[in-house]
Amino acid sequence: MRITKCRIYNDDIMSQKAIDAVFAGLFYLTDIRTILRRTAPLHQLKDEEKATARKTIDAVRKQLTVLEEELL
Amino acid sequence: MTMKCAAGIETRIVDESSINLDPIQAAGRLTPEAMKAVIAWGDGYSVCDHCHKPFRLDYVTNPPIADFHSDLSKWLGMDQSQVVPGARRAFQEVTGALVSKGEPVMMTGMGHYTAYLSVEVVNGVVREIPPTPDHHITADTAAERIEAVIREFGYAPKLLFIDAVDFMYGNFHDVKGVAKVAHQYDIPVLYNGVYTVGVLPVNGKDLGADFVVGSGHKSMAAPAPSGVLATTDEYADVVLRTTKISGDVTGRKFGIKQVGILGCSLMGAPIVGLIASFPAVKERVKHWDEEVANHRIVTDALLSIEGTKIASEFPRRHTLTRMDTSASFDVVARTHKKRGFFLSSALAKRGITGIMPGVTKQWKFNTYGLSREQVEYLAGAFVDIAEENGLRIA
């Protein structure tokens, strides 16, 4: 029988940052999905919508950076 | 290539790519909050992480299911409430508690089929209140039909269903008047609010309702299947009753589980979606007038097309409308190479979906939740299609 040695569950083995980044990234993408819905079918964004989209896309990028740092 | 969620399941992009006019889908579109909650809580029994004694769904505080129940009751102007897997299950729970084999239930002739089936499942008997020629349910007709049922059965109906707004025409019905009549005969009243609860203000007690039923997936921006049942303290004891059964050999008992809905009713994505959307839903009902104003931009544009009529009550008070284009778009369809499919096809080319393909005589649409820009685009699209096909615009 092959078993894996258990370890104490603590910050060393659990990447809370990675978990948070996954959900934050998905939530920001959901906000972008909402913009797509709100502006369908032409998706011609007004200036303020573009500003919101820009900010949200940047936030997604930040989460990806966290994931790279935490997991790779 | 179409993007897929999983083998054989396409990624659904209807609402991201198009203006969707499907009458039953409009107010069930998720809020961003619900989408996020579903991402985090979509696993089967996720909401049971913190289920402690007495082990009942409406006692769970994380996520805040307990608070949701009390807020919901207050918001609907009722005493107690329960979440259910769709309005139809609420109908079934009420008929299951109040109607026995062979007993009559009053139903409006414009009711949803599931209301009829909820009577059939308990072997009850349906007796209908016919709509007026202009498709309304009135208190006078209700009184006549109740009298007829009493003559036929020797006693009053056990329950009366009344749709606040019907699915056929999107017309408002005289709920208060009908409820007043029903109560004169001691008949409990079930207010079917699947097209009102979650889109416009509803106060059950003000309306004279003993039961208020709403649909999460139709009008409360929640995933399916979800719905709500609210009632008074008087009827809660009967309809929301708790189990008393026990096993004859084992003696097993089942705490305070509710019988009518077979215990815990709504878990995972449907309940967290319903709760997550609730603050936005409570806010959006205050803006119903804006939704109707947006809708009228589209109906005005349609009415500007020669021969076009509105089959629903007019002026419009709801965002779901039945159009009569038998003297406009249907005339085009008779000679168009795509026949009746020309309309849905022309709309699709303009990024608009949700109207039944092939239908050009009478069809329904719902603009709930669209932005002003979207309704203006939609209004322009209908006029454009009419002009393109030689119809005159007033």
Nearest to B276 by CA among B202, B199, B221, B225: B221
B350-365 residue pLDDT tens? 999 999 999 999 999 9
Please state the separation of Cα B226 from the chain's center in Å. Answer: 11
A17-30 residue pLDDT tens? 999 999 999 999 99
B184-235 residue pLDDT tens? 999 999 999 999 999 999 999 999 999 999 999 999 999 999 999 999 999 9
Interchain CB contact of A34 with B (< 8 Å): yes
Q: 0.90 exceeded by the pTM?
A: yes
Dist. CA A59–CA A72, nearest whole Å: 20
Contact B237, B108 (CB under 8 A): no
Residues 17-36 of B with CB under 8 A from A: 17-19, 29, 32, 35-36
Cβ-defined contact of B39 to A33 (cutoff 8 Å): no
Q: What pLDDT score was predicted for residue A8? A: 65
Residues 348-387 of B with CB under 8 A from A: 350-352, 371, 373-374, 377
Interchain CB contact of A70 with B (< 8 Å): no
Under 8 Å CB pairs connecting chains A and B tally to 40
Dist. CA A70–CA B373, nearest whole Å: 43
* Residue in this structure with the two tokens 């092959």, named with its chain if needed: A2
Residues of A in contact with B352 (CB under 8 A): 41
SS3 of residue B291 by DSSP: helix
Dist. CA B326–CA B331, nearest whole Å: 7
Non-local (6+) Cβ contacts of B3 within 8 A are: B10, B11, B13
* Residue B128 DSSP label: E
Dist. CA B157–CA B190, nearest whole Å: 12
Q: What pLDDT score was predicted for residue A13? A: 62
Q: Give the distance from residue B202's alpha carbon to the nearest chain A alpha carbon, in angstroms.
A: 27
Residues 40-59 of A with CB under 8 A from B: 40-42
Angle between helix B87-98 and helix B113-120 axes, rounded to 10 deg: 30
Contact B391, B328 (CB under 8 A): yes
In the structure, what pLDDT confidence band is assigned to residue B290 with cuts at 50, 70 and 90?
very high
* Residue in this structure with the two tokens 């508690």, named with its chain if needed: B97
pLDDT at B180 over 70: yes
Cβ-defined contact of A33 to B32 (cutoff 8 Å): yes
ipTM score assigned to the predicted complex: 0.94
H or E stretch including A38? helix A16-39
Among residues of chain B, what percentage have pLDDT more than 90? Answer: 99
**Residue B128 burial (C-beta neighbours within 10 Å; 0-12, 13-18, 19+):** middle
Average confidence score pLDDT of chain A: 92
B106-116 residue pLDDT tens? 999 999 999 99
Please name the residue of chain B whose CA is at the shortest distance from the CA of residue A25.
B36
Do the bridges between strand B211-215 and strand B189-192 make them parallel or antiparallel, or are there none, so unpaired?
Answer: parallel
pLDDT at A6 over 90: no
